[in-house]
Amino acid sequence: RDKMENESGGPEMPLVCLTDFQAQARERLSKSSWDFIEGGAGEGITRDDNIAAFKKIRLRPRYLRDVSEVDTRTTIQGEEISAPICVSPSGFHCLAWPDGEMSTSRAAQAAGVCYVTSTFASCSFEDIVAAAPGGLRWFQLYVQPDQQLNKQLVQRVESLGFKALVITVDAPIVGNRRHDIRNQLDLKMNLMLKDLRSPKERNSIPCLQTSAISTSFCWNDLSWFQSITRLPIILKGILTKEDAELAVKHNVHGIIVSNHGGRQLDEVPSSIDALTEVVAAVNGKIEVYLDGGVRTGNDVLKALALGAKCIFLGRPILWGLACKGEHGVREILNILKNEFCISMTLTGCRSIAEINRNLIQFSNL
């Protein structure tokens, strides 16, 4: 009956979970845009495993606790957020919604969470900040071969009030994304990246040949970044205890355990499976976060139980944008926050501090 109502212009079914948004976004976006957002590298094994790995973890609820008040608030790098659910850096939000990152920024501010703005944002950093001046923002950097450009970008976002520098480490080259190759996708020709052009070029060139990412950036180069900024530096893309130990040794402030949503090297561990190894190696010295595969409040709870300080959402943010712009992103964040609060309540956790390893077990599915 509902389907018939929809076809005759009646009320649509409400979108009640993140995968509802996924299904509607797929209908609304062009094939090449959808493939770009959803696509993984290689055979898509890691992309799919990011989600499947969460489902192999079972919860161990504790009952007969007073859960009349449940507090989802926590902090990242000393800044309070309303829940441990933040927005991952992803480029080209204008593919999903005309206002792009400005809408994302407003939604994150309204939800009281952190939004990590991508180097490859399709709106200028100034416009993103102006859209939500009170929001907590971090900046994600793809290290450029031109050191002067790196310095300009970092100092520009620091002066704009961004609170941390997230350096992506798992993309010295772009992964083998078959869908984009088949679709002959050329984002450079379709979108103007205002932020990677010199002022002179900005006025004269209608599109940018997306600048190369440095293939030579290595551990010893981190000290140069530390010398040009006071922002805490967070490394995104760490998957092993060896690299986690090096991150601590090089005095970074945090790690985002991530495999780039399965978009870089296929057949690496899922983010949730890599998390345990990284958390153990770091041993509480720096904050550890996770992105990749989070789709439900239970997933958030599982990540925190395994030692993540918060999770970052990638694709679901773009689904929300594609469906309803800023309101869609707000709904995505609110649905996940509400699900997480229910998960906390039903496992007997009244605060983030009460979420621990005893809450979970790994099943043999």
Q: How far separated are the first and last CA of the chain, in Å rounded?
A: 37
Would you say 292 is a known binding-site residue? yes
Query: How far is Cα 279 from Cα 285, in angstroms, rounded to an integer?
Result: 10
Would you say 216 is a known binding-site residue? no
Would you say 230 is a known binding-site residue? no
Query: How far is Cα 107 from Cα 101, in angstroms, rounded to an integer?
Result: 10
Active site residue 179: no
Q: Which residues pair with 161 in a beta bridge?
A: none
Q: DSSP letter for 56, please.
A: T
Would you say 140 is a known binding-site residue? yes
What is each CA distance from 37 to 114, 159, 321, 330, in whole angstroms?
A: 21, 31, 12, 19
- Could you tell me which residues come within 8 angstroms of residue 222 by beta carbon, excluding any fewer than 6 positions away? 167, 233, 250, 251, 252
Would you say 197 is a known binding-site residue? no
Would you say 227 is a known binding-site residue? no
Considering 179, 250, 253, 260, which one is annotated as catalytic?
260
Would you say 258 is a known binding-site residue? yes
Would you say 142 is a known binding-site residue? yes
Would you say 168 is a known binding-site residue? yes
Query: How far is Cα 194 from Cα 203, in angstroms, rounded to an integer?
Result: 10
Would you say 263 is a known binding-site residue? yes
Question: Is-contact 241 249, C-beta < 8 A?
Answer: no
The three-class DSSP label of residue 193 is coil
Query: How far is Cα 201 from Cα 323, in angstroms, rounded to an integer?
Result: 34
Residue type, 283: N
Would you say 315 is a known binding-site residue? yes
Would you say 327 is a known binding-site residue? no
Would you say 91 is a known binding-site residue? yes
Would you say 325 is a known binding-site residue? no
Tokens (6 digits) for 45: 């094994």
Q: DSSP letter for 254, please.
A: E
Would you say 9 is a known binding-site residue? no
Would you say 236 is a known binding-site residue? yes
Query: How far is Cα 349 from Cα 205, in angstroms, rounded to an integer?
Result: 55
Question: Is-contact 170 260, C-beta < 8 A?
Answer: yes
Alpha helices (H) in the chain, listed in sequence order = 2-7, 18-28, 31-38, 45-54, 101-111, 125-131, 147-159, 178-182, 187-190, 199-204, 222-228, 241-249, 271-282, 297-305, 315-347
Question: Is-contact 77 166, C-beta < 8 A?
Answer: no
Number of helices followed by number of strands (H, E) in the chain: 15, 12
Q: Where in the sequence numbering do the catalytic residues fall? A: 260
| Numbered residues of the known binding site for FMN | 89-91, 118, 140, 168, 236, 258, 291-295, 314-315
| Numbered residues of the known binding site | 89-91, 118, 140, 142, 168, 177, 236, 258, 260, 263, 291-295, 314-315
| Numbered residues of the known binding site for glyoxylate | 142, 177, 260, 263
